[in-house]
Amino acid sequence: MSARACGGTAVKPGKLAQIPADGVPAGPAGAGAGLIRVRPAVPPDREALAQMFERCTAATRYRRFHGPVKAIPERYLAEALSRSPFHHALVAHLEPASAAHARALSGGIVALASCRLVDEGAAELGVLIEDEWQRKGLGTRLVRALVAHASDVGLRVLEAQLLAEQAWITSLLRPHGTCRLRSTGNGVLNVTVRLEPARPLT
């Protein structure tokens, strides 16, 4: 999934979020009593992200980058790991339940999500989730984190480009605002979501 957000230009650091293990069932390797932590991406994540990408099927890679890529595009990856305020990137990291489980994990990263400014007031969002962790609630939590970031920095409109087969992803966006879906006629859907304004505390 790729998307664009339009609105204000101020950028603030993202927030750290934790996802209880019982909210995301263990994958085939077994997550034990661990949890998935959604945290900012950092330079040491490069190798684990490369390993995660290798575990993704060609179909998952195509759905994310809309092309037959064999590796995460270097420019995109470098920006995602730069900690730049203009590229807000998160990783979903599987924390081991034991030391033995830690040794069995290949870096522990199972997803990458990002919000990258491409123009004044405009940013691209993207989410890549390893196949074995899809349809387990992780995508919903990552989208929530990205929407929260967009709201925090003053963005009010999200635009996503999806393949026609990914139309179901709009169900992850609708809870956050008014959603409009338009077909480009070439198998790609443009989704626009106007975010609901934050409700004042009472």
Q: Compute the distance between CA of residue 144 and CA of residue 167 in angstroms, rounded to an integer.
A: 18
Nearest to 181 by CA among 152, 161, 196: 161
162 vs 63: CA distance, rounded Å: 8
Read off the pLDDT of residues 167-181 as tens digits, 9 standing for 90 and up.
888 888 889 888 888
d(CA 138, CA 72): 20
**Is the pLDDT confidence value at 26 over 80?**
no
What CATH number is given for 2-155 in this structure? 3.40.630.30
* CB-CB contact of 191 with 183 (8 Å): no
CB 166 within 8 A of CB 129: no
* pTM of the entire predicted model: 0.78
Give the separation between CA 143 and CA 141, rounded to whole angstroms. Answer: 5
Per-residue pLDDT tens digits for 141-159 = 998 998 888 888 877 877 7
pLDDT computed for residue 194 by the predictor = 81
Q: What is the mean pLDDT of residues 87-100?
A: 78
